[in-house]
C-alpha cells in the first residue's frame, strides 16, 4: 500500500480503538464484529470498517475481528510497539504533571530530560529527573536522540524554543503553549490533550514507514 494521507478524523479515532480493544482483551473477549464494536463505541459499523481499510483491513467476513490481532495492528499503526525518547521543556505545573504521569512510560514514551529557565526550578527532582537550565538544552540535544519534545513554556518563548528543538532533531512536538508554531515539513505537532495527543503524534511520525511495511508485506503475499 502506497503512502497516503489519512484523514484527521480517522487518526483521532485510532487511540479510541486502542483503548477500547485493551479493555476488551482484559475482559477476555476473543473476537468482535464491526457492528458490535461500533455499537460499543457509538460509531457507525461502516465507518469502523472504512477506518480499518485505510490500513489494509483486518477482519474476516462472517467472523469479524480477532481482538488480540486487531489490538496488535492498532498498536503498530500508532507506533506504540516501540520506544520513543522524550524531552520536557518547561518544568512548571504542566511539565511536572507530564513527567510524573507513569502511564506514558508504560506505553514506551520515556522522558530523558527536563529543562527550565527559572533558577527556582533548576536542580529539583521530578520523578527521578533533575531539571537542567535552559542554556544547556542545545548542548544536550547534540548528544541525545530525541523523538518527541513536550513544550510547556510561556507563549512568548515557544517559537524560539521550538526552533532549538527542531535544530536538535526532534521529530514531533507536543505543544502546551497557547500559540501556533511555525514548523518545517516533516516535524509533527499536536496541541495538548494528553495520551490521545501522544498517540496521534506517534502515528504521524511513523506514517510513511507503516505504509512501506504494508507494501512489503503485500508483495511477499502476492
Where residue 222 falls among pLDDT bands split at 50, 70, 90? low
pLDDT for residue 191: 86
CATH 3.40.50.720 domain range(s) in the chain: 84-194
2-14 mean pLDDT: 86
Closest Cα partner for 201 from 61, 9, 11? 11
Identify which of 102, 100, 103, 99 has the alpha carbon closest to the alpha carbon of residue 113: 99
Confidence of residue 13 (pLDDT cuts 50, 70, 90): very high
Q: What's the pLDDT tens digit per position in 67-76?
A: 999 999 999 9
Residues in contact with 173: Cβ distance below 8 Å, sequence separation at least 6, in sequence order? 148, 149, 151, 162, 165, 181, 183, 187, 188, 189, 190
Q: 33 φ, ψ to 5°?
A: -85, 160
Q: What is the pLDDT of residues 89-131, one digit of tens each?
A: 999 999 999 999 999 999 999 999 999 999 999 999 999 999 9
Q: Could you tell me the pLDDT band of residue 220, with boundaries at 50, 70 and 90?
A: confident
Tell me the C-alpha distance between 27 and 30, whole Å.
Answer: 9
* CATH number attached to the domain at 8-79+207-221: 1.10.10.10
CB atoms within 10 A of CB 22: 14
Confidence at residue 199, expressed as pLDDT on a 0 to 100 scale: 85
What is the pTM (predicted TM-score) of this model? 0.81
* End-to-end CA gap in the chain: 13
Task: Report pLDDT for 59.
Answer: 73
Task: Please indicate whether residue 198 or residue 4 has the higher confidence score (pLDDT).
Answer: 198
User: Phi and psi of 82, rounded to 5°?
Assistant: -145, 170
Q: Which CATH architecture has domain 84-194?
A: 3-Layer(aba) Sandwich (3.40)
Residue 174 banded pLDDT, cuts 50, 70, 90: very high
**Residues in Cβ contact with 66 at an 8 Å cutoff, skipping those fewer than 6 apart:** 30, 31
Instruction: Say if residue 174 is exposed, middle or buried (CB neighbours under 10 Å; 0-12, 13-18, 19+).
Output: buried
Q: Average pLDDT of 169-197?
A: 87
- Name the band, by pLDDT with cuts 50, 70 and 90, for residue 60: confident
Domain with CATH 1.10.10.10 in the chain: 8-79+207-221
pLDDT band at 138 (very low <50, low <70, confident <90, very high): very high
Share of the chain above pLDDT 70, in %: 95
Amino acid at each position: 500500500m502506497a503512502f497516503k494521507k489519512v484523514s484527521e478524523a480517522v487518526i483521532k479515532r485510532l487511540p479510541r480503538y486502542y483503548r477500547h480493544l485493551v479493555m476488551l482483551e482484559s475482559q477476555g473477549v476473543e473476537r468482535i464484529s464491526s457492528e458490535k464494536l461500533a455499537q460499543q463505541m457509538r460509531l457507525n459499523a461502516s465507518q469502523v470498517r472504512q477506518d480499518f481499510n485505510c490500513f489494509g483491513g483486518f477482519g474476516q467476513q462472517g467472523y469479524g475481528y480477532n481482538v488480540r490481532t486487531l489490538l496488535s495492528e492498532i498498536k503498530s499503526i500508532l507506533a506504540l510497539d516501540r520506544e520513543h525518547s522524550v524531552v520536557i521543556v518547561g518544568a512548571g505545573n504542566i511539565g511536572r504533571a507530564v513527567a510524573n504521569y507513569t502511564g506514558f512510560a508504560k506505553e514506551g514514551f520515556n522522558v530523558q530530560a527536563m529543562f527550565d529557565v527559572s533558577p527556582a526550578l533548576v536542580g529539583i527532582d521530578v520523578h527521578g529527573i533533575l531539571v537542567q537550565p535552559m542554556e544547556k538544552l542545545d548542548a544536550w540535544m547534540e548528544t541525545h536522540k530525541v523523538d518527541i519534545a513536550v513544550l510547556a513554556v510561556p507563549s512568548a518563548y515557544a517559537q524560539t524554543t521550538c526552533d532549538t528543538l527542531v535544530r536538535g532533531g526532534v521529530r514531533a512536538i507536543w505543544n502546551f503553549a497557547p500559540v501556533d508554531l511555525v514548523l518545517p515539513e516533516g516535524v509533527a505537532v499536536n496541541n495538548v490533550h494528553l495520551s490521545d495527543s501522544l498517540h496521534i503524534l506517534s502515528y504521524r511520525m511513523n506514517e510513511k514507514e507503516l505504509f512501506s511495511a504494508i507494501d512489503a508485506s503485500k508483495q511477499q503475499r502476492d
